[in-house]
Amino acid sequence: MKGDAIVVEKHHVRAAQGVVALLRSLLDGGGRFTLTIAGESGSGKSETAQAVAEELRSAGVAAVIFQQDDYFVYPPKSNDRERRKDIAWVGPQEVHLDLLDSHLGAFLNGADTVTKPLVSYIDDSIGEEYLTFDDARVAIAEGTYTTLLENASARAFIDRTYLQTRAHREKRQRDASELDAFIDRVLAIEHEEIASHKARASIIVDEHYDASAARP
């Protein structure tokens, strides 16, 4: 998403190193694969995805990143207005998950490029961009609901709740409305939905950003 600042810190790097270590067998197997990184708002999904991509590149494996934020039905400020008109709008239905899933599928099936949405936070608009895969072997999809995607070779879940992530949300604050009482209601609804997705994950990143294989 245009206008979104991503600052990778040491704990994100530690999580990425753990995730990549757990994916070693996939890396050694050759071919393309996909990874989703999910979790609640402010849990560090974007930063961890960037850190994973950089960790992979340092190992000679090229990666591309899909941000769920680009696949929302409405751009951010418009989406906030829709939520305030009807809080029942909050949930996976806010996102074109089917389109994102199809783009991961295209990557797995050998596509060279896809035309994807591109959100501009500042302009509150949705355009498009051509994402070229070049020599990428890994596609990373990060976002709150990406654990639901079917075209995922592996799924990582950051196990931190919206209550634990408030400091991060305050630091990355895009707009004062993101931290008002209404948003706390939104995050509580998201928590109930997203918590159930943990069971689908193959990798769990705990509150200290240590990664481990999910228990069967």
Considering the entire predicted model, what is its pTM? Answer: 0.91
Residue 164 has pLDDT above 90, yes or no: no
**Residues whose CB falls within 8 Å of the CB of residue 183, separated by 6 or more in sequence, listed in order:** 177
Task: Identify the structural domains of the chain with CATH numbers, from first to last.
Answer: 10-206 (3.40.50.300)
Mean pLDDT, range 108-126, rounded to an integer: 95
Q: Which residue has the higher pLDDT, 172 or 212?
A: 212
Dihedral Cα 185, 187, 189, 192, nearest 10 deg: -140
Which pLDDT band holds residue 178 (cuts at 50, 70, 90)? low
- Cα distances (angstroms) measured from residue 146 to each of 102, 156, 194, 207: 12, 9, 10, 19
**Residues whose CB falls within 8 Å of the CB of residue 163, separated by 6 or more in sequence, listed in order:** none
The tokens of 101 are what? 């899933």
Residue 99 has pLDDT above 80, yes or no: yes
pLDDT (tens digit, 9 = 90+) per residue, 21-63?
999 877 777 789 999 999 998 899 999 999 999 999 999 999 9
CB 121 within 8 A of CB 174: yes
What pLDDT score does 41 carry? 87
